[in-house]
Amino acid sequence: MEKITSLAKRRGFVYQSSEIYGGQNGAWDYGPLGVELKNRIAGAWWKEMTRLHDNIVGLDAAILMHPRTWEASGHVENFTDPLVDCKKCKSRFRADQIPQENLAAKKCPDCGGELTDTRKFNLMFKTHIGPAEDTASIIYLRPETAQGIYVNYKNIIQSNRMKIPFGIAQIGKAFRNEIVTKNFIFRTCEFEQMEMQYFVKPGTDEEWFAEWRKQRWAYYEKLGIKMDHLRWHQHGPDELAHYAKDAYDIEYLFPMGWRELEGVHNRTDYDLGRHTQFSGKDLQYIDQDNNNERYIPFIIETSAGLTRNLLMIFCDAYDEELVTPDKNSGSSEGTSSGTASSSDDWRTVLRFHPDLAPVTVAILPLMKKDGLAELAQDIRAELKEDYATDYDQSGAIGRRYRRQDEAGTPFCVTVDYQSKEDGTVTLRFRDSMEQVRVPKAELSARIRQEIKAYKRIK
């Protein structure tokens, strides 16, 4: 994980929040490459969940919601972690994450000091709205995006004439006062979720649950994730959230081990039932195609962390590779760019799917002089319309390729003297390091074709 963290910082993917003040625990900032990567992951999920489904629509609900929402959802009562403190070294632990024998003996796993009794700690951030700081002004930062969907479900049925089964998708920030925030951006206090709530007729929920499990698995396959690094974990009775009848996590093999990436939950009619009870509003669905049959829909939820997906995609893409002189010669890093390395060389490469890579194509003039830089800038201006581009004219070409490999840029275009003569450029592929000559007029179409046909080779 150290290598991942250091590359992420060095290349401007992720920085510690408020670093100049010593850093803020549980919060991270996404730099120029990080925000692009995050936006693309969000875009890929959004396309998958909305554009590719005729019956799923989007929503962007407010983070601040009426406080009754969280009473109805059960979060005020149930969204807690068991907490113990060491009286001696003042360390704080989640009681379910320290060895059972320490808990039983009330002995601190760090210093052997005495532990406090276990107490429940609510993970919701609480603040006040308006100038008065009293109980009437308490408001919470949402701990999940899902509730914004439930309270809008009737609005969406009415405004968009949705018929069951249908879904509502949302991407947004969520906040949890996590006791333990470690492993970089894996578990943080401020994070983003990508959630889709699918409203179905009671009795069909198990079928839809199985269907959504299948779809979510296929999604990661499509993104080219290493499938042997993914597995299912079904929640046992002691793990199920207060709203769930059945739940499966997709787990990923992170550098620190198998951890949850996304959850697929059968939330039954719990949420809409509780909102009916707490709001006094009738949230039944009226099936106009079926004699106005009324019922509270069941909800199948797919809930993925966007920031956790980013960490997964970063870890999954990370590779170090020995570049042999053989690979570096001939059609590879050499000839047209004139910089074949004479010895073995390690490269760090992020093998992002081209749809996710922060920069799709980098344009590199072999030399700044003799009109090559101007020609390269013209090519960039053309490609900009279609792709996220970068331009780099400083340093040896081999070094520039390495910089793009580290950023995960799948394609580099090198402009050389031959380009001036015959209008062709070199298109270099990140994964194979192979190069082909392409007429510049065909570049955009060729890159499009390569993205469509992309298959991860390693």
- Return residues touching ligand GAP (CB under 6 A): 144, 146, 176, 178, 187-188, 191, 193, 195, 260-263, 301, 303-305, 307-308
For residue 442, give every residue at least 6 positions away whose Cβ sits within 8 Å of its Cβ, in sequence order, or none. Answer: none
Q: Which is nearer to ligand GAP, 302 or 328 (CB)?
A: 302
Q: Which is nearer to ligand GAP, 180 or 436 (CB)?
A: 180
Q: Which is nearer to ligand GAP, 107 or 173 (CB)?
A: 173
Q: How far is the CB of 28 from ligand GAP (least distance, A)?
A: 10
Q: How far is the CB of 26 from ligand GAP (least distance, A)?
A: 8
Q: Which is nearer to ligand GAP, 302 or 414 (CB)?
A: 302
Q: Which is nearer to ligand GAP, 191 or 401 (CB)?
A: 191
Q: Which amino acid is at 229?
A: H
Q: How far is the CB of 263 from ligand GAP (least distance, A)?
A: 4
For residue 65, give every residue at least 6 positions away whose Cβ sits within 8 Å of its Cβ, in sequence order, or none. Answer: 140, 142, 147, 148, 151
Q: How far is the CB of 299 from ligand GAP (least distance, A)?
A: 10
As a whole number of angstroms, the distance between CA 411 and CA 426 comes to: 10
DSSP 237-263: TTT--TT-SEEEEEEEEETTEEEEEEE
As a whole number of angstroms, the distance between CA 176 and CA 178 comes to: 5
Q: How far is the CB of 266 from ligand GAP (least distance, A)?
A: 12
Q: Which is nearer to ligand GAP, 232 or 346 (CB)?
A: 232
Q: Give the side-chain half-sphere CA count within 13 A for 83.
A: 17
Q: Which is nearer to ligand GAP, 198 or 387 (CB)?
A: 198
Task: Specify the 3-state DSSP secondary structure of 120.
Answer: strand
Q: How far is the CB of 242 from ligand GAP (least distance, A)?
A: 11
As a whole number of angstroms, the distance between CA 129 and CA 70 comes to: 16
Contact 356, 223 (CB under 8 A): yes
As a whole number of angstroms, the distance between CA 334 and CA 10 comes to: 27
Q: How far is the CB of 307 from ligand GAP (least distance, A)?
A: 5
Q: Give me the residue label for tokens 């005495």.
A: 114
Beta-bridged to residue 439, according to DSSP, are 424
Q: Please identify the residue of the shown chain whose CB is closest to the bound ligand GAP.
A: 305
